[in-house]
């Protein structure tokens, strides 16, 4: 389990740093999307802050995973971002769901691996 956590933590950490930075630097091309998904993404960008916030959360969580400092916290703050990415693809662009599904599954695996760190939250 420890080796699995290490491997998943590093892979997801690298993914989050790369995809987060891409939202600022635009070094990877955008994939083809369904019109509904394209409109959704344009709406997020047009807010002026939301995609930047998502990028910062991804980068911070990625760094926390890669440094293994507060990695359990990184897994928690990443849940809303990855869940939204998964659901957006599920309903608007099912063909592009692979990456979001993989990242969500990896994050759920990390959450499970860090479950002892969350016990105080759920205790009376």
pLDDT for 71-113, tens place per residue?
A: 999 999 999 999 999 999 999 999 999 999 999 999 999 999 9
Residue 76 near residue 111 (C-beta atoms within 8 A): yes
Q: What is the pLDDT of residue 30?
A: 86
Which tens digits make up the pLDDT trace of 16-41? 999 999 999 999 998 888 999 999 99
């Amino acid at each position: 389990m420890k080796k699995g956590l290490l491997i998943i933590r590093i892979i997801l950490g690298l993914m989050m740093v790369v995809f987060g930075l891409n939202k600022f630097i635009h070094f990877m091309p955008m994939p083809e999307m369904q019109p509904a998904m394209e409109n959704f993404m344009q709406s997020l960008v047009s807010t002026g802050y939301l995609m930047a916030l998502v990028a910062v959360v991804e980068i911070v969580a990625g760094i926390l995973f890669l440094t293994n400092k507060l990695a359990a916290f990184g897994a928690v703050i990443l849940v809303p971002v990855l869940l939204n990415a998964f659901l957006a693809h599920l309903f608007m662009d099912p063909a592009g769901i692979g990456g979001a599904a993989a990242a969500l599954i990896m994050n759920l695996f990390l959450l499970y691996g860090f479950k002892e760190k969350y016990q105080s939250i759920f205790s009376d």
